[in-house]
A and B are shown apart, each in its own frame.
Chain A
Amino acid sequence: MNRCIRHAAVFCLLLLAALLANSARVQVLRAGSYDGNPANRRVTVAR
């Protein structure tokens, strides 16, 4: 059973890795295009 518990733990680790990679994508890599989207009201709100 120990082997399978480790496999399940590795599976959860993969889920975490996917989340971290995706946060880097949204918050850093694609951040420029999201910030520049004309529908993003943040720029007008800040003024």
Chain B
Amino acid sequence: MSAPSATAPTAPPAPAPRLPTRRGVELSLIVAAVLVSMYGYAEVGFARHGVLPPGAAGYGCGLAGLALLAHVAVRARAPYADPLLLPIAVLLNGIGLVLIYRLDLEPVLGPRAAPAQLVWSSIGVGLFIAVVLMLPDHRVLARYAYLSVTAALLLLAAPIFFPAINGAKIWIRFAGFSIQPGEFAKVLLAVFFAAYLSANRAALAYTGRRIVRGRRLSGLSWLRRLQLPTGRVLGPVLAIWLVSVGVLVLERDLGTSLLFFCLFVVMLYVATGRTGWIAVGLLLASVGAFAASSLEPHVRGRVSDWLHPFASIDAGIGPGQLAQSLFAFAAGGAFGTGLGQGHSYLIGFAAKSDFILATAGEELGLVGLCAVFALYALLVARGFRAGLALRDPFGRLLAVGLASLLALQVFVIAGGVMDLIPLTGMAMPFLAQGGSSVVTNWIIVALLIRISDRARRPEPTPAAEEAAEEADKVGGPAA
């Protein structure tokens, strides 16, 4: 018998303070997101026919089931992930389905698209779950940098061999499906840029030639700090520029080309911290933009539409698409016409894809549009937050790249349909009709979940680290 152990049991080691995982918050936000989407769906039905639409239950159950499956996957394998990412993605996807369902009620816009979009969303959520379950750590991706850039270039090049659809060669068609491979290339290129830049940061940041030498210009010290990168490091940048110009010329896809280039410049700046790179990027971009707008008639048309959206009305041939889009936004005003009660079908072709935001603007108003933009802003902000909290350069660059990718995409298409910048065809993330885009955006969110889980997860032995810190404080004299 050991009496001491009975009288004074050895106290268990104090449990380390458990970091909140916030999965409950995520679940309640997901429930709210699904309810908002179901409410929107019901409102469309009541506004149009005065009854609850017949598919409401199936649609709601579908979205809720997808969201819960994704939530279970996150709970199982990424317990410390940011709790806002998944609900925002579910809500945006739900709003997109409501808007597409609403436009399906206009027969002039062609066959129904909402059921297919729900199928694509399921595939997207499936891939989301696959990434969350099977990718143990985002750093694994850095090993596949050159594989992913090869795949991205192949995907980008593939549509060249297929006929152009609606003026742009960005589609692959087989077995009744049409796929936009450029969408998948975005993620692959973000992975490659992050891996390449994190491996070559030092060389890119510390080799260079000063443009201005000499000490006389002491008042212009910032000018002396401005350095031009050497030719050897400039090579890859020029290569990326050539690829994006090639995409533009061969596939007539201004939006994708702009997106790739901006993404690369942002990631290059974050990796090296050199403002000189921004100057180089702006210079190359303006040369490319000037050449494209003066040589490509397609691009020139977009620029003149942007400057004079009502030119076709003055010419007596009726309003163009951009003019119709502006009319739709204006008809919405501050508070919108209400779901199902607008006339955004007047936009005609691409009302469900590129111009989906016009429907949101007309039927939900400026208020609803601001809410949608706020959702995107939150998504982007949480991505940057994960990047700031991480320690490994690859993960930080990947988080920044994916967040910027979303932000740039939203800006390019939303600015395009609202006449802020020249219109370029691009999918509004999660909202627009288009399978490739929805699937890609779910993969982006999955990667952000994976990264934020790593960023918020406590270190393996926090107690040991704290003890070491305490020892340091005790041992070292206060300076």
Interface residues of A (CB under 8 A from B): 1-9, 11-13, 15-16, 18-20, 22-24, 26-28, 30-32, 34-35, 37, 39-42, 45-46
Contacts and interface: CB of A to CB of B under 8 A. Distances in A.
B418 interface: yes
Given A4-B273, A8-B384, A15-B411, A27 B373 contact: no
Interface string B401-421: 001100110110011001110
Find the residue from A18, A27, A34, A39 having the highest chain B CB count within 10 A. Answer: A27
Interface of B is mostly: helix
A39 B50 CA distance: 31
Contacts, number: 125
Contacts of B408: 15
Going nearest first, the 6 A-B pairs with the smallest beta carbon separation are: A34-B330, A12-B407, A31-B330, A15-B411, A39-B313, A9-B384
10 contacts: A4-B271, A13-B377, A16-B376, A20-B370, A27-B332, A28-B334, A31-B331, A34-B326, A34-B331, A35-B331
Contacts of A26: 326, 329-330, 361, 418-419
A26 B369 CA distance: 12
Given A18-B415, A19-B373, A24 B384 contact: no
B315 to A, nearest CB: 11
Interface in B331-358: 331-334, 343, 346
Given A39-B318, A41-B346, A42-B327, A8 B269 contact: yes
A21 to B, nearest CB: 9
B384 A5 contact: yes
A38 B331 CA distance: 14
Contacts of B418: 19, 22-23, 26
Contact of A23 (B270, B370, B396): B370
Find the residue from A8, A13, A35 having the highest chain B CB count within 10 A. Answer: A8
B266 interface: yes
B270 A5 contact: yes
A30 B334 CA distance: 12
Given A23-B366, A34-B330, 9 more contacts: A4-B273, A11-B266, A19-B418, A20-B370, A22-B415, A23-B373, A30-B330, A37-B313, A42-B327
Contacts of B343: 41-42, 45-46
Contacts of A46: 343
Contacts of A18: 411, 415, 420
Given A26-B329, A27-B330, A34-B326, A16 B319 contact: no
B380 A42 contact: no
B370 A8 contact: no
